[in-house]
């Protein structure tokens, strides 16, 4: 038996979601733009999905634009706002954003957009002074700050960021958040925080891969990334992924409903696992917020002094524990984690952070086995 502790990378599809997904795939859904019964069936699924997501997250239905997932939603938010803002516009993001935000901002920078980097401290928390400095930039069109970090488990104090943005009064930029990792793991108060754009993805919460959405305040001007048939009220062309959208909506609804019970369970597991790790390796270091502070309870990122990240992950895999080094995208390459570097860790440390991320299906037995496997494996890989 293997223990899967890489839920921040992707999650197994939930049984209820799988059942609905298969039902929808078999329902002979037409093209949602079609005017026949098959088309109307698809349209009903898409409309119902929009309604469910809006209701679960407390935003009007018009906010929901379905996308192929978090990467597209992030690209759309950043490019959509900046392309519309004209020359001289600036963008600000934190230094620990997912690559789909950071690389997009870098690409915009290469094409003449001013790009401000908001710094974080060693726990991964946004530095208020750096945020204020970025916000004072003339022509700042968009601020993108993730709700929760996929590598460190740090959660942004969104109400605090909101009040710092409010200090700008009428000069406030649009505010986007990548809430892909926060959904289902940390409360989301989109309306209270005054967000303008929010990215979400289904496969991190037991939904299918390749579907998600961008929530956006309808009044704001964003240039569509995909143009063509004018679906999604012109915001995102392409035949709607009706079955995927139906499955995504159910996954979002369930994730929001279950978050209050899931997080405390994960915190208990996290404490147990961390305790087991410390028994075997007393000088192991927890990256990100302490277990007593607000954080994603499901995410433990650990540095083992002297361990080489890739061989540790490979060895754990052989022993039946599936984990990763920082973000999934970089685990194939030998690059250091930009998140750990931004948090002030050395290049060497930024190549060795072991990420263990739990999910809805993680059991107490999994945590127990993971502790055993870690103990056994670390004896072999750590210098004596």
Q: Considering Cα of 211, then 216, then 219, then 222, what sign does the dihedral take?
A: negative
C-beta closer to ligand PLP: residue 94 or 181:
181
Distances (CA, A) of 288 to 122, 166, 324, 328, 353: 7, 27, 16, 18, 11
- Helical residues (DSSP H) of the chain, grouped into ranges: 15-25, 37-57, 70-85, 99-110, 128-135, 158-166, 190-193, 242-280, 309-319, 338-342, 364-381
Shortest reach from residue 202's CB to ligand PLP, in Å: 7
Residue 187, φ and ψ in degrees, nearest 5: -65, 145
| Of 329, 341, 381, 382, catalytic | 329
Nearest-CB residue for ligand PLP: 70
**Residue 329 annotated among the catalytic residues of the structure:** yes
Any contact of residue 178 with ligand PLP (CB under 6 A)? Answer: yes
Provide, rounded to whole angstroms, the least separation between the CB of residue 286 and ligand PLP.
20
Counted residue by residue, the chain has a size of 384
Q: What are phi and psi of 245, to 5 degrees?
A: -65, -45
User: Under the criterion CB under 6 A, does residue 11 sit at the interface with ligand PLP?
Assistant: no
Q: Distance between CA 128 and CA 126 in Å, rounded?
A: 6
From 49, 70, 173, 244, residue interacting with ligand PLP (rule: CB under 6 A): 70
Nearer to ligand PLP, 203 or 360 (CB): 203
Q: Could you tell me which stretch among 29-37, 63-71, 121-129, 249-257 binds ligand PLP (CB under 6 A)?
A: 63-71
| Interface of this chain with ligand PLP, residues 347 to 376, rule: CB under 6 A | none
Q: Residue 373 CB: number of other CB atoms within 10 A?
A: 20
User: Which CB atom, from 30 or from 326, has the smaller least distance to ligand PLP?
Assistant: 326
Which residues are CB-contacts of 339 (< 8 A; sequence separation ≥ 6)? 96, 124, 149, 151, 152, 326, 327
Q: How far is the CB of 81 from ligand PLP (least distance, A)?
A: 17
6 belongs to the binding site for ligand PLP (CB under 6 A): no
Total of chain residues touching ligand PLP, rule CB under 6 A: 15
Q: Please list every residue from 115 through 174 that binds ligand PLP, using CB under 6 A.
A: 146, 150
Measured from the CB of residue 172, what is the shortest distance to ligand PLP in angstroms? 24
Sheet holding 114-118, edge to edge: 64-67, 212-216, 197-201, 174-178, 140-144, 90-94, 114-118
- Cβ proximity to ligand PLP, 247 vs 307, nearer residue: 247
Q: Which is nearer to ligand PLP, 70 or 309 (CB)?
A: 70
Structure-block tokens of residue 153: 């488990």
Where along the sequence are the contacts to ligand PLP (CB under 6 A)? 69-71, 74, 98, 100, 146, 150, 178, 180-181, 201, 203, 212, 328
Give the active site residues: 329
């Amino acid at each position: 038996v293997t223990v899967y502790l890489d839920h921040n990378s992707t999650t197994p599809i939930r049984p209820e979601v799988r059942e609905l997904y298969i039902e929808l795939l078999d329902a002979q859904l037409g093209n949602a733009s079609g005017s026949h019964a098959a088309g109307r069936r698809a349209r009903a699924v898409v409309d119902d999905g929009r309604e469910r997501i809006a209701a679960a997250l407390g935003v009007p239905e018009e906010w929901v634009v379905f996308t192929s997932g978090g990467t597209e939603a992030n690209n759309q938010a950043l490019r959509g706002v900046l392309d519309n803002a004209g020359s001289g516009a600036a963008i600000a993001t934190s230094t620990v954003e997912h690559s789909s935000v950071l690389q997009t901002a870098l690409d915009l920078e290469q094409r003449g957009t001013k790009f401000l980097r908001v710094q974080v401290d060693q726990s991964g928390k946004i530095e208020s002074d750096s945020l204020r400095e970025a916000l004072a930039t003339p022509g700042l069109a968009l601020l993108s700050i993730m709700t929760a970090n996929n590598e460190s488990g740090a959660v942004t104090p969104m109400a605090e960021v909101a009040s710092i943005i409010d200090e700008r009064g009428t000069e406030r930029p649009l505010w986007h958040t990548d809430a892909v990792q926060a959904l289902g793991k940390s409360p989301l108060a989109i309306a209270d925080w005054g967000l303008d754009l929010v990215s979400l993805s289904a496969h991190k919460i037991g939904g299918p891969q390749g579907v998600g959405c961008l929530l956006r305040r309808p009044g704001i001007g964003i240039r569509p990334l995909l143009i063509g048939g004018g679906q999604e009220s012109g915001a995102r062309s392409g035949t709607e992924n009706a079955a995927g959208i139906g499955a995504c909506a159910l996954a979002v609804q369930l994730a929001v409903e279950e978050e209050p019970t899931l997080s405390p369970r994960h915190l208990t597991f996290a404490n147990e696992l961390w305790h087991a790790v410390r028994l075997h390796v007393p000088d192991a270091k927890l990256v990100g917020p302490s277990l007593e502070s607000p954080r994603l309870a499901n995410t433990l990122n650990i540095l083992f002094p002297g361990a080489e990240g890739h061989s540790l992950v490979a060895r754990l895999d052989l022993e039946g524990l599936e984990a990763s080094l920082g973000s999934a995208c970089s685990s194939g390459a030998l690059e250091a984690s930009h998140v750990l570097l931004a948090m002030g860790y050395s290049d060497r440390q930024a190549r060795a952070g072991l990420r263990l991320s739990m999910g809805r299906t993680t059991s107490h037995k999994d945590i127990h086995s993971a502790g055993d496997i870690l103990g056994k494996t670390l004896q072999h890989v750590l210098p004596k």
